[in-house]
Amino acid sequence: MLPLLKEKLLEVLKAVAPLFIMVCVLQLTLVSAPTTIFIDFIGGLVFIVAGMLFLFAGVDYGILPMGKYIGSALPEKGSIVLVVAVAFAFGFATTVAEPDVLVLANQVNRVTNAISRQAVLYAIALGVAVFTAIAMSRIVFGFSLRGLLTVTYGAMIVLSFFAPAQFVPLSYDAGSVTTGVLTAPVVISIAIGLSSVLAGRSAISDGFGLLGFASVGPIFVMMVIGMFLR
């Protein structure tokens, strides 16, 4: 476990270093924020490093292996309904816990004062859950990912012209925050595990591509909500 923590600590430090350097340069040249604010930034960065360290270590140590095992074990039960139900449940549960989604939900609530944090959170989670279930069904039945993406992205663009203008950017942001540090490894690991045990399926061509498809779900849901609230 200790070697894993050391490896992840180096990865996290490399990831946050550009942000730290950029803020320091701006602080010394252009911005000159009050010392208390800059110190708070440093403190916040320390918390971020610690959080990312344990999050990434937890993903590699436990979530990825468990996800692959679940994905490979589901077909043994011989129930497509079970595969779809589990995919829906994991898509919903991981999105609700996704840090990026929580941040967006809080920001939307603060800015609009009209849409509750819970409404945004569960709407995004519902969209991810439905489209994750569809994506897992594609692996089982062997649907063409290219065709599925063409239809869904085309429908999404068309729907953009009918949704309220203020909901369109929010909807696309809702789609972009779903593929975060928790949802992505869980969904991908289950998909890889599922595709690895099905005859005629490839862990590369069938196990990947789900995130790009699942991220469309929240966009659809938020646009539809906007149309109903118009």
Q: What is the pLDDT along the chain (230 residues), one digit of tens a residue?
A: 677 788 888 888 998 999 999 999 998 888 888 889 889 999 999 999 998 888 888 888 888 888 888 888 877 776 788 888 988 998 899 888 888 888 888 887 777 666 788 888 898 899 999 998 998 888 888 777 788 888 888 998 999 998 888 888 888 888 888 877 778 888 888 888 887 777 667 666 666 777 888 888 889 988 888 888 76
How far is Cα 180 from Cα 188, in angstroms, rounded to an integer?
Answer: 12
CB 195 within 8 A of CB 207: yes
Q: Find where tokens 């196990």 sit.
A: 207
Kindly give, in sequence order, each residue whose CB lies less than 8 Å from that of residue 206, ignoring residues fewer than 6 positions away: 138, 139, 145, 191, 195, 198
The 10 Å CB-count burial string (b at 16+, else e) for 61-74 is eebbeebbebbbeb
User: What local confidence, expressed as pLDDT, does residue 21 receive?
Assistant: 92
C-alpha closest to that of 210 among 229, 228, 195: 195
Cα-based angle 193, 187, 3 (whole degrees, multiple of 5): 80
Handedness of CA 197, 139, 215, 127 (dihedral sign): negative
User: What local confidence, expressed as pLDDT, does residue 105 receive?
Assistant: 84
